[in-house]
Chain A
Amino acid sequence: MYAFEIDRPTTLADAVKALGAEESQALGGGQTLIPALKARLAAPARLVALSGVDEIKGICTADDGALCIGGGTSHADVAKGAGAYPALASLAANIGDPAVRNRGTIGGSLANNDPSACYPAAVLASGATVVTTNRQIAADDFFDGMFATALEDGEIITEVRFPVPEKASYQKFDQPASRFALVGVFVAKYPDGVRVAVTGASEDGVFRWSEAEAALSSDFSAGAVEGLSLSGDGMISDLHGSGEYRAHLVGVMTRRAVAAAG
C-alpha cells in the first residue's frame, strides 16, 4: 500500500467538499479498493471515507411504494432490512462472505460496476433510480460498460430507489474461485412488463436481455424463454468458462429465475 491521506467526513456536505480536492477518491466499504491498494494497483493521494456519513445509510419506503436504500447501506443491512423486496434481500445475503457483506455498500458496488457484481443486475432489472449528490440517474442510463458508470468525479451515490415488482428472483451461478457471478440473472415482473438483467456474462458489463423480456412480458413462465438463446460473441471468455458457456448459462439462469419467482 502506498501512503495516502484520509478524510473521515460525517456529513454529506463535508464529503462532497473533500472529494473536490485534487486526486481524491471516495472509499465506501473498501471491499474492492482496499485489496487494490494493498496490491499497489491503485495510488490515490487522498481517500474520503464515506463510512461515517450516516445520512446515506438506511432503508425506507417512499410514498410511491419504492424501496429506498441509502448508498452507504451495507449488504448485510439490505439482507436484513429489504424484506419488502425479498429477491433483493436474498441477493444481498449472497454477496461475498460475511466480512464483505458487513463492510461493503450498495453505493460502493454500483460505483465500481464490476462486470461480475450482483447489485447492477438488481438495479437494472428493477428499473431503479440512482440518486446522487447531483441528480437522479435512471438505471438504463447509469451503467456504462465494465467498471464504468455515468457518475462524474466527486459525485456520491446517496440512495437507490427500487420500484418493488410483483414477482422477482435473482439466480447466480458462482465462479468457482471468487464466487462472484459467473453469470447472474435478475428477473423482475412489473405491471407494465418484465425486465431481465444479466451480470457476469458480457464484456460490456451488465445488460438487459430484451428478447427474454418480450417473451416473459407476454407469458411469465420458464417455458416462454425455453427456445431463446444468446450468442457467445461478446461474452467474457476466461479460465472459468467460454463465452459460449456463459451465453448458455444466461438461458438456464433466466429460466430458473422465472421458475423461482413463481
Chain B
Amino acid sequence: MPKDGGIGASSKRREDVRFLTGTGNYTDDINLRGQAYVHFLRSDVAHGRLEKVDTTDAEGMPGVIRVFTGADFEGVGGIPCGWQVTDRFGEVMQEPAHPVLAQGKVRHVGDPIAAVVAETREQARDAAEAIVLDIEELPAVVDMKAALEDGATKVHDDLTSNLCYDWGFVEENKAAVDEAFGKAAHVTSLELVNNRLIANPMEPRVAVGDYNRASDESTLYTTSQNPHVIRLLMGAFVLGIPEHKLRVVAPDVGGGFGSKIYHYAEEAFCTFAARALNRPVKWTSTRSEAFMSDAHGRDHVTKIELALDADNNFTALRTDTHANMGAYLSTFAPCVPTWLHGTLMAGNYKTPLIYVNVKAVFTNTVPVDAYRGAGRPEATYQLERVIDKAARELGVDPIALRRQNFITEFPYATPVAVEYDTGDYHATMDKLEEIADIKGFAARRTESEKRGKLRGLGVNCYIEACGIAPSNLVGQLGARAGLYESATVRVNATGGLTVMTGSHSHGQGHETTFAQVIAEMIGIDADQVDIVHGDTARVPMGMGTYGSRSLAVGGSAMVRATEKIINKARKIAAHLMEASEGDIELKDGQFTVAGTDKSVAWGDVTLAAYVPHNYPLEDIEPGLEETAFYDPANFTYPAGAYACEVEVDPETGRVTIERFAAADDFGNVVNPMIVEGQVHGGLAQGIGQALLEGCAYDENGQLLTGSYMDYAMPRADDVPFYHVDHSCQTPCTHNPLGVKGCGEAGAIGSPPAVVNAVVDALRTGGSNITHIDMPLSPSRVWQAMQG
C-alpha cells in the first residue's frame, strides 16, 4: 500500500473540508466595498433587427447608476475566438463580430441587449423592464441543413452565408476513401444526432469587476476554468488592458465541464463598467440566464459509413457532419468538431482510410463550444454505433468484431494525423468482460424476461486524445494560443512548499493529487505542500484546465519544477555534508551521502537556502524557488471498454440502467479514489446525454428547455452502481508521470454503450429497430417501437 499522501494512495480530498463545511470562497461570496449590480436585458426573440433601444425611462428609475447599450461598446473589441480553422479549399473560416452588447441585431434568445447598473440587483432588474425596445423580428435560422440552403436568412448579414467552414480531413485521402468504399464487401451506414446539451454546473456563472484608480489596475473575479486565458483574451482583444494592469481571479469554482473555459461578454462588461463607473460591478447569473447564456455542447448531425472487406476487416470510414456553432463563435468552438473530433475517428481500430467532412453552421441559437469530452464523444458515439450496427448486419459478435480490428502495435500512426504512443485494447476488453460479467448476461436476460422486461447489453470502446496539447502542433492547426502549462514551486525556509500552478481545480481535487506527487518526490508529508491556483497575481502563468490536461501537462510542469528544486537542494546538502553532489541521495525527506551514515534533513537544507551562513554562495544563489514550463510532446491517449445493461419496459418505453462497467487505461494513477470519482461523474453525464438531456429549440428559435422543468438532468436514482476498473495501465511514454488523464473518459465512453444496449434490448423483443436518437426518453423509445 502506498503511503497516505503519496502517489497511488486514495488520500481523502483535502479541499472537501471547506466545500462540505460551507467555508469555500466562491465568486458570489466576493462582495466589494461600494459594489453595484448589473442586470442584463436579454433578447426574447431569436433573430431581430434592433430598431430602437430607449433607455430614457430606465435611467430615471430608483438606484440606477447607468444604463449601457451596444453603442457604449463601439470602438471596443468584440469577444474573440481562440481558434481559426482553415477549410477544405485553403480558406480561413468565416468569423463574425461578437459585440459585448448587441449592435444592430439580436441573434439568439438570451443575447444581451442592454445592461443596467444599479445600487441593488432588484433595482437593476426593475429598470431593465423600463427599457423600451423596438425589434423587427426576422425569420429564425434553427435547422442546420436549412441554414445552408440558397437564399436562407443569414444570421450575420456581413458574411457570405451561414457556413462557418467546410472542413475535410484528411482531404488528400478523400479519393482513396471513396475508392475503398467502391471495393467494399459490406458497407454499413447510419445517420444520427449527437444531441445538444447544456452543461449546468452546480454554480452558475458570476463576475465581479473592480478598478483601482490609484494604480490603474483592473481586477476581474470570475467563475473560470482558466483565469490566465481570460486575462489574455479580455485584456488583449476586448478591452485593451495590458496584462500587468489586469488581474483575473477564479477562486473556488463549483464545476465547469467546459462551460467555464470561455471568455464571456458578462466578464468583459463587468470589467469595463467598473472602470467606467469607478465602482465594483457584480453580476450573478440566475439559473434561467445560464440556460440561455452559458455555451451549449455537442449538437452534431452526422452520416457515418463504414466499409468492411469479406473478412470483416474495416477498410474505410467516411463521415459527413453538420456541427452547430450557434449565433457567434465561442472561444474554442471551431476546434471542437474539427481537431478534437476528426483526429479521433480511427478510434481503437486499424481502419487504414478515413475521411471526415464537417460543415460548421451559424444558427440563431446559443453559441456551442466544448463540453466534457468535446468532439471526442461525438467521434466515439458515431464510430461505436456504426460498428455495432455492422456487427448486427453481419451477424457477428460485436465484441469479436471490435477485437478483430483492434490496433495492437504501438506507437501507431492513425490515418487522421495522430500517433497513439501506447495502449492495450485487448487488455481493457478482457477486464471489461470480467467485471461486467458478460458471460452471465444470458441468465440475467432470462430473469428480466420473466418480469416482462426486455434486457439488452451494449458494449463499446473509446479512445481520446487529451493532455492538450503540443503548442507547435496546435499552432499549425489554428490555435491562437500555446497549450503548455507552468508551475512555480516555492520552498519556504522551514521546509513547507507553496506550489503555484496554472491548472485550475473546480472539482477535480488538484489540491490533493498535486500535493501527493510532490510529497512523494521529496519524501515529505503531503500536508507540507500547498497548492495555489486561480489567481493571475499569484500564479505567474497558466493555460488552465480542460481536455483532461491538468495532471498530464500541469502535473508535468510541477514535476519539472520540483526536479529543479531537488537538484539545487542536493547541491546545498552536498555542501553541508562536505560531500560530492553526485553521491547525494534523497529519500524520505533525508539527504544522505551514499555509502555513509551522513545525513541532513530536508528542513535543514531549506533553512540553509534562506539563512545561507554555511552555503556555497560562489556556486548558487540563496533561496529555493523554481519555475518550469512544460509543453507536451504529444497528446495522451486514455482508452477503454465500457458495457451497459439496460431493461426496457415494453409497455412504456422506459429504460433503466441495470449494470454499468467501465474498464479504463489511464496509465499511471496518482489517487485511485479521485480517478474513480471522475469516472463516476463522467458516466453520470454520459448516461444523462444518452437517456435524459436534450436541449430543444422550436422553429422560431425559442428555447423549449429553459429550466429544469423541461431539461432533464440525471439524478442519483437514474444511474446504477458502477463497476469501474483502472488496473490496465500502459503508462504514457512521453510525460514524466506516465499519466494520461481521466476527467472526460466517462462522458466519452458511455453514450454509445447505453444506446447499443437499448437497441439490443428492443431487437430481443422482436423489433427491427437499428437506431434511436438520444436522449432515449420513454416517449422516443415507445414511439420507435410503434414502427
Contact = CB atoms under 8 A, between A and B. Distances in A.
A39 B288 contact: yes
B777 interface: yes
Contact of A245 (B122, B708, B711, B782): B782
Given A39-B288, A239-B705, A252-B652, A176 B783 contact: no
Contacts of B777: 176, 240-241
Contacts of A3: 122
Nearest to A252: B651
A249 to B, nearest CB: 6
Interface string B750-783: 0000000000000000000000000001110011
B709 interface: yes
B710 A248 contact: no
Given A239-B696, A242-B783, A249-B652, A178 B708 contact: yes
A177 B782 contact: no
B712 interface: yes
A173 B777 CA distance: 12
A95 to B, nearest CB: 15
A230 to B, nearest CB: 15
B643 interface: no
B692 interface: yes
Nearest to B649: A252
A173 B652 contact: yes
Contacts of B633: none
Given A242-B779, A242-B783, A245-B783, A176 B692 contact: yes
Given A1-B122, A39-B288, A173-B652, A241 B778 contact: yes
Contacts of B126: 2
A2 B783 CA distance: 43
A240 B779 contact: yes
B779 A177 contact: no
B598 to A, nearest CB: 64
A40 B41 CA distance: 14
Most buried by B among A177, A180, A242, A245: A177
A249 B704 CA distance: 23
Nearest to A116: B709
Among A176, A241, A242, A249, find the residue whose CB has the most chain B CB atoms closer than 10 A: A176
B384 to A, nearest CB: 24
B63 to A, nearest CB: 13
Interface in A188-246: 239-242, 245
B783 A178 contact: no
Contacts of A240: 710, 777, 779
**Most chain-A CB neighbours within 10 Å: which of B125, B692, B705, B709?**
B709
Contacts of B713: 177
A248 B650 CA distance: 12
A178 B652 contact: no
Given A1-B122, A245-B783, A239 B652 contact: no
Interface in B525-571: none
Nearest to B698: A239
A2 B125 CA distance: 10
Interface in B677-706: 691-692, 696, 704-705
Contacts of A173: 652, 654, 778
Contact of B779 (A1, A40, A178, A241): A241
A245 B779 contact: yes
A176 B712 contact: yes
A252 B705 CA distance: 27
A248 B782 contact: yes
Contacts of B778: 173, 176, 182, 241
Contacts of B712: 176-177
Contacts of B125: 40
Interface in B648-667: 651-652, 654
Contact of A177 (B288, B651, B654, B710): B710
Nearest to A39: B288
A119 B709 CA distance: 19
B498 to A, nearest CB: 42
A260 to B, nearest CB: 14
A249 B651 CA distance: 8
B702 to A, nearest CB: 12
A173 B125 CA distance: 38
Contacts of A180: 709
Contacts of A242: 779, 783
A173 B778 CA distance: 10
B109 to A, nearest CB: 15
Contacts of A252: 651-652
Contacts of B705: 177, 239
A239 B710 CA distance: 8
Interface string A23-65: 0000000000000000110000000000000000000000000
A201 to B, nearest CB: 13
Interface in A132-184: 173, 176-178, 180, 182
A182 B653 CA distance: 13
Given A173-B652, A240-B777, A242-B779, A178 B122 contact: no
Contacts of A239: 696, 704-705, 710
Contacts of B710: 177-178, 239-240
A152 to B, nearest CB: 29
Nearest to A241: B779
Contacts of A39: 288
Interface string A106-127: 0000000000000000000000
B703 to A, nearest CB: 11
B714 to A, nearest CB: 10
A242 B784 CA distance: 13
A173 B713 CA distance: 17
A3 B692 CA distance: 37
Nearest to B708: A177
B94 to A, nearest CB: 32
A249 B692 CA distance: 19
Most A C-beta atoms less than 10 A away, residue of B651, B712, B779: B779
Nearest to A256: B651
A33 B188 CA distance: 53
Contacts of A1: 122
B573 to A, nearest CB: 59
Contact of B711 (A177, A182, A249): A177
Nearest to A249: B652
Contacts of A2: 126
A177 B783 contact: no
A241 B786 CA distance: 14
Identify the interface centre among A3, A178, A239: most chain B CB within 10 Å of its CB: A239
Contacts of B779: 240-242, 245
A245 B778 CA distance: 9
A114 B616 CA distance: 81
A239 B704 CA distance: 8
B202 to A, nearest CB: 16
B352 to A, nearest CB: 42
B716 to A, nearest CB: 11
Contacts of B692: 176-177
A12 B783 CA distance: 50
A176 B775 CA distance: 11
Contacts of B654: 173
A21 to B, nearest CB: 24
A34 B338 CA distance: 45
A181 to B, nearest CB: 13
Interface string A74-112: 000000000000000000000000000000000000000
B709 A177 contact: yes
17 contacts: A1-B122, A173-B654, A173-B778, A176-B691, A176-B692, A176-B777, A176-B778, A177-B708, A177-B713, A182-B778, A239-B704, A239-B710, A240-B779, A241-B777, A241-B778, A241-B779, A252-B651
Given A176-B692, A248-B782, 9 more contacts: A173-B652, A173-B778, A176-B712, A177-B708, A177-B709, A177-B710, A241-B778, A252-B651, A252-B652
In the A-B complex, list the 9 residue pairs whose CB atoms are closest, starting with the nearest. A177-B712, A241-B779, A176-B712, A178-B709, A252-B651, A245-B779, A177-B710, A239-B704, A176-B692
